[in-house]
Amino acid sequence: MVYNTLTIATAVTPTVIETYISHYLNRKPLHQKPTAHISYHEGINLVRRFLHYASLHTVEDLQDFTAQWVPHPRWVKVDEATIPDDVIAKAAGLLEAQLGHRGIDKIGGRRWWQWRREGSVLKAEWIEMRKDYIWRKRMNDKGKRVMLYVHGGAYFFGSVDEHRYQMQRHARKLKARVFARMYHIDLSAALFSAYT
């Protein structure tokens, strides 16, 4: 079965309409509950229906769906970055020093979490509000306020594109730049092997 935006919209639309109608027909019982607000009521039922629909598909289908490219609004500045291998090696060394021998043993050794496919590059995005970028450049500010965003999804579900809305909100509220690594796990590869 195909799993894309159109099929998901087709699957959840009846739930959205049903919730809208039932919300206004049954207002009294909802009065003292969080679902008294239509947006909350719709959101809860929409997520429930999406999760049910997603459960009928494979993990690979879900990965493909959540890894799709999502355009960003013009008022958000997004710059792609590539993290050089020497920086990755230095970060691994700092992490090993922080964890120590006992910490490294607890996580299963020092190499499995550093393994990457031959020739793969580590990509990331810098995300900030365009008006903040313009102000920062005008003031000759290098941008010391930075947020490292590690998106959820247990490494196999989701993407920077999927989470960009939350990241741009953080950037706007903090007047900061957000740095987010692009990754998810390839279930056909070795366990925990991150790739982009």
Digit-coded pLDDT (tens) for 21-76: 988 887 777 777 777 788 888 989 999 999 999 999 988 888 888 778 888 999 99
Nearest partner of 125 among 61, 171, 173, 189, judged by Cα: 171
CA 166 to chain centre: 8
In angstroms, the CA 162 to CA 143 distance is 25
Whole-angstrom Cα Rg for the chain:
21
Q: Determine the 3-state secondary structure of 85 from DSSP.
A: helix
In angstroms, the CA 183 to CA 66 distance is 12
Is-above-0.85 flag for pTM? no
Sign (positive or negative) of CA dihedral 176, 152, 159, 108: positive
Structure tokens at 66: 């959540």
DSSP 102: H
- pLDDT band at residue 192 under the 50/70/90 scheme: very low
pLDDT tens digit sequence for 97-108:
999 999 888 888
